[in-house]
């Protein structure tokens, strides 16, 4: 028994108790004939006092303590004269009677404090020390609590957590699969699953009815800013359900999480059809913490001699409240922002609706005050507002305007990390047209079911067919998505034919599931949440990396372990593999 209490436990009510604590030396400072040591563990910090006058030997011992030493202290709880209201233990201190060094510590390469002096790279190399910092550890604690709450909610609703295999078969479409050579089956490979999609659908065929799993998935792809080669999903599937049933259960889960973890009541989620999301926000994952919806003015702008607008398929704007006072410099900044190659707009048109009611725009040459007033009216703008207008090809321009809207939201402080706006985006298109390959692809996967009322369009206007597919979006982040699956083989055949699969191709790629479906597949559907993303959102983090204990960097490397690494020739020989890299 190394301790009787943790460093976060003691209060004034414990006065005069004899206690034993153990932990790390956060800091030690001398003050007169006293040494004060802040002793830290996962649960908190407790001040320990050594008094030269009372026990000079012990005090000398304490004087030798360095940062991050691990010590055990015996002593008595006393009231502090100089209380610290910022610490739960700040009203007491321990008058030490015994001190044991359990382990000394070298000077750590950076300070273990919130405001650490360690740079990103150094902290990742010594991740085990970075994890000592309270904020980093709290992210992991939050992750634990969220995963536990998810399991509790689903368990209570008859969901079974089933572990699906990690060493699976490589599939023809699995171009981004990690593969694993098998020693026992030389020349053959397992793959790591990109998701348990196939298995969860099989479990529905098996009659498991309600499945979930918090499960690692793997994707060997170039890592953009916020991706990891291994990531964690809350993967769910239900039988005998329609879209409405899934939305209700998982809206409930999200509300439960917000309440249990953050004490926040989230109202019923608005539902926004994909088409409206694109029209109003130019995004299928709109940040709805603020309005600033798109206003189309193509009809109001055409035929006035401004060729740029006239030739554009789309002219749309947002109204930035109270921004009429923006300076030339600020407007130029915004123009530069939308012209950045990542966004790619040609230019930015503005209309200032000054507080005195006058209108000023960058296109005054072409549009009369009356014309501009028409735009103002449509935007329901108020004096003091600023209209920002982009034009061009519809989809591209909506995407650019969406970026501009997010930027303005940020500039105006409308994207508060402590405010949470949840919604469902529904009615996604079933198919996406690939201009290059001149054919349709399934937007989600080929087992996603079309809306029954759109089935007649499958052959005539496939691009207009809406799917029983949905995404959960919170603060502009897609935290989850799923669909109701096709379980009827006739409809599946039709779907494959629309996708241009021959029967052989369909059989080769999806034959396995199609065969399973022959033996009585129930209607079913599901959803998967990105746990990393959900935790980041709850923690207000900018990167999912901060809620992962041992993340990899952008090159997929673990810099702490220096993995991946080379392996021995013997190991390769045993696997009958040879590396063909040029020397």
The span from the CA of 293 to the CA of 286, in Å, is 10
Contact between residue 73 and residue 40 where contact means Cβ atoms under 8 Å apart? no
Q: Give the nearer residue to its own copies in terms of CB position, either 189 or 420.
A: 189
User: Using the rule CB under 8 A, is 42 a contact of its own copies?
Assistant: yes
User: Using the rule CB under 8 A, is 396 a contact of its own copies?
Assistant: no
Burial of 53 (0-12, 13-18, 19+ CB in 10 A): exposed
Helix or strand holding residue 536 (H, E): helix 531-539
The span from the CA of 53 to the CA of 64, in Å, is 17
User: Using the rule CB under 8 A, is 225 a contact of its own copies?
Assistant: no
Q: Give the nearer residue to its own copies in terms of CB position, either 126 or 501.
A: 126
List 9, 19, 54, 70, residue binding its own copies (CB under 8 A): 70
User: Using the rule CB under 8 A, is 151 a contact of its own copies?
Assistant: yes
Letters for 530-549 (x = contact with its own copies by CB under 8 A, - = none) are ------------------xx
Sites for its own copies among residues 9-28 (CB under 8 A): 22-24
Min. distance of Cβ 316 from its own copies in angstroms? 39
Interface with its own copies by CB under 8 A: which range of 79-87, 476-484, 497-505, 516-524?
516-524
The span from the CA of 291 to the CA of 320, in Å, is 10
Distance of CA 439 to the CA centre of its chain: 32
Which of 127, 144, 113 has its CA nearest to residue 45?
Answer: 113
Token pair for residue 32? Answer: 């007169």
226: which residues sit within 8 A by CB, 6+ positions away? 543, 544, 545
Between helices 489-498 and 503-517, what is the axis angle to 10°?
160
For 275, phi then psi, to 5°, come to: -60, -40
The span from the CA of 270 to the CA of 376, in Å, is 28
Greatest CA span in the chain, whole angstroms? 94
Q: Give the nearer residue to its own copies in terms of CB position, either 163 or 435.
A: 163
Residue 527: how many other CB atoms lie within 10 Å: 24
User: Using the rule CB under 8 A, is 193 a contact of its own copies?
Assistant: no
Which 8-state DSSP code applies to residue 258? Answer: I
Sites for its own copies among residues 447-506 (CB under 8 A): 487-488
Min. distance of Cβ 28 from its own copies in angstroms? 14
Min. distance of Cβ 6 from its own copies in angstroms? 8
Min. distance of Cβ 524 from its own copies in angstroms? 10
Contact between residue 289 and residue 421 where contact means Cβ atoms under 8 Å apart? yes
Tell me the three state secondary structure of residue 392.
Answer: strand
Interface with its own copies by CB under 8 A: which range of 27-35, 217-225, 336-344, 459-467?
217-225
Q: Give the nearer residue to its own copies in terms of CB position, either 141 or 364.
A: 141
Which of 417, 405, 166, 440 has its CA nearest to residue 283?
Answer: 405
Sites for its own copies among residues 551-580 (CB under 8 A): 552, 555-558, 561-568, 571, 573, 575-580
Sites for its own copies among residues 419-448 (CB under 8 A): none
The span from the CA of 198 to the CA of 515, in Å, is 12
Contact between residue 234 and residue 529 where contact means Cβ atoms under 8 Å apart? yes
Sites for its own copies among residues 338-357 (CB under 8 A): none
List 135, 155, 311, 569, residue binding its own copies (CB under 8 A): 155
User: Using the rule CB under 8 A, is 393 a contact of its own copies?
Assistant: no
The span from the CA of 91 to the CA of 460, in Å, is 75
User: Using the rule CB under 8 A, is 523 a contact of its own copies?
Assistant: yes
Interface with its own copies by CB under 8 A: which range of 154-162, 299-307, 420-428, 468-476?
154-162
Min. distance of Cβ 544 from its own copies in angstroms? 12
Min. distance of Cβ 178 from its own copies in angstroms? 5
Token pair for residue 194? Answer: 């990109």
The span from the CA of 37 to the CA of 46, in Å, is 8
Token pair for residue 419? Answer: 């405010």
Letters for 162-181 (x = contact with its own copies by CB under 8 A, - = none) are xxxxxxxxx-x--x-xxxxx
Q: Give the nearer residue to its own copies in terms of CB position, either 186 or 270.
A: 186
Which of 381, 380, 404, 382 has its CA nearest to residue 392?
Answer: 404
Min. distance of Cβ 529 from its own copies in angstroms? 15
Contact between residue 166 and residue 180 where contact means Cβ atoms under 8 Å apart? no
Sites for its own copies among residues 241-260 (CB under 8 A): 241-242, 244-245
Min. distance of Cβ 202 from its own copies in angstroms? 4
Token pair for residue 265? Answer: 């009541």
Sites for its own copies among residues 90-149 (CB under 8 A): 102-106, 108, 126-129, 131-132, 137, 140-141, 143-144, 147-148
List 187, 303, 413, 452, residue binding its own copies (CB under 8 A): 187
Q: Give the nearer residue to its own copies in terms of CB position, either 189 or 366.
A: 189
Min. distance of Cβ 152 from its own copies in angstroms? 8
Q: Give the nearer residue to its own copies in terms of CB position, either 103 or 418.
A: 103
Q: Give the nearer residue to its own copies in terms of CB position, either 381 or 521.
A: 521
């Amino acid at each position: 028994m190394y301790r009787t209490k943790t460093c976060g436990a003691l209060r004034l009510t414990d006065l005069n108790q004899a206690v034993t604590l153990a932990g790390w030396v956060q800091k030690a400072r001398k003050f007169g004939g006293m040494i004060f040591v802040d002793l830290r563990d996962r649960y908190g910090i407790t001040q320990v006092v050594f008094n030269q006058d009372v026990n000079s030997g012990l005090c000398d011992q304490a004087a030798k303590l360095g940062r991050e030493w691990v010590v055990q202290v015996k002593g008595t709880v006393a009231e502090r004269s100089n209380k610290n209201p910022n610490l739960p233990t700040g009203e007491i201190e321990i008058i030490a009677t015994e001190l044991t060094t359990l382990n000394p510590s070298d000077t750590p390469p950076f300070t273990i404090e919130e405001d650490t002096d360690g740079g990103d790279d150094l902290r990742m190399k010594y991740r085990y020390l970075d994890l000592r910092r309270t904020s980093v550890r709290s992210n992991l604690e939050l992750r634990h609590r969220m995963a536990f709450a998810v399991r509790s909610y689903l368990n209570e609703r008859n969901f079974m957590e089933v572990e699906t295999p990690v060493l699976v078969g490589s599939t023809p479409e699995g171009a981004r699969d990690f593969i694993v050579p098998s020693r026992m089956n030389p020349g053959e490979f397992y793959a790591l699953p990109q998701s348990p999609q196939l298995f969860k659908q099989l479990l529905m065929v098996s009659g498991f009815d309600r499945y979930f799993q918090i499960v690692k998935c793997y994707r060997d792809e170039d890592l953009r800013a916020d991706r990891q080669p291994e990531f964690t999903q809350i993967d769910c599937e239900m039988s005998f359900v329609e879209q409405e049933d899934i939305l209700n259960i998982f809206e409930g889960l999200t509300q439960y999480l917000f309440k249990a973890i953050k004490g926040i009541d989230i109202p019923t989620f608005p539902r926004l059809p994909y088409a409206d999301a694109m029209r109003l926000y130019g995004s299928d994952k709109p940040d709805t913490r603020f309005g600033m919806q798109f206003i189309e003015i193509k009809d109001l702008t055409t035929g006035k001699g401004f060729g740029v607008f006239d030739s554009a398929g789309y002219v749309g704007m947002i109204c930035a409240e109270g921004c009429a006072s923006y300076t030339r410099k600020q407007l130029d900044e915004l123009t530069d922002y939308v012209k950045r190659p990542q966004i790619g707009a040609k230019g930015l048109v503005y209309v200032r609706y000054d507080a005195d009611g006058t209108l000023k725009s960058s296109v005054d040459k072409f549009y009369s005050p009356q014309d501009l007033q028409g735009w103002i009216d449509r935007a329901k703008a108020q004096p003091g507002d600023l209209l920002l207008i982009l034009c061009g090809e519809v989809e591209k321009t909506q995407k650019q305007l969406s970026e501009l809207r997010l930027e303005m939201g940020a500039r105006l402080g409308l994207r508060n990390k402590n405010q949470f706006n949840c919604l469902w985006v529904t009615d996604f298109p079933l198919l996406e047209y690939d201009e290059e390959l001149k054919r349709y692809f399934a937007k989600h996967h080929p087992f996603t079911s079309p809306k029954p009322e759109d089935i007649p369009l499958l052959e005539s206007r496939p691009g207009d067919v809406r799917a029983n597919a949905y995404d959960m979006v919170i603060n502009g982040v897609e935290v989850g998505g799923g669909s109701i699956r096709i379980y009827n083989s006739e409809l599946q055949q039709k779907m494959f034919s629309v996708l241009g699969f021959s029967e052989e191709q369909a059989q080769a790629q999806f034959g396995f599931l199609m065969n399973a479906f022959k033996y009585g597949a129930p209607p079913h559907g599901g959803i998967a949440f990105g746990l990393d993303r959900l935790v980041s959102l709850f923690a207000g983090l900018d990167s999912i990396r901060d809620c992962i204990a041992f993340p990899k960097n952008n090159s997929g490397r673990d810099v702490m372990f220096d993995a991946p690494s080379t392996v021995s020739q013997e190991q390769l020989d045993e696997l009958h593999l040879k590396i063909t890299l040029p020397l």
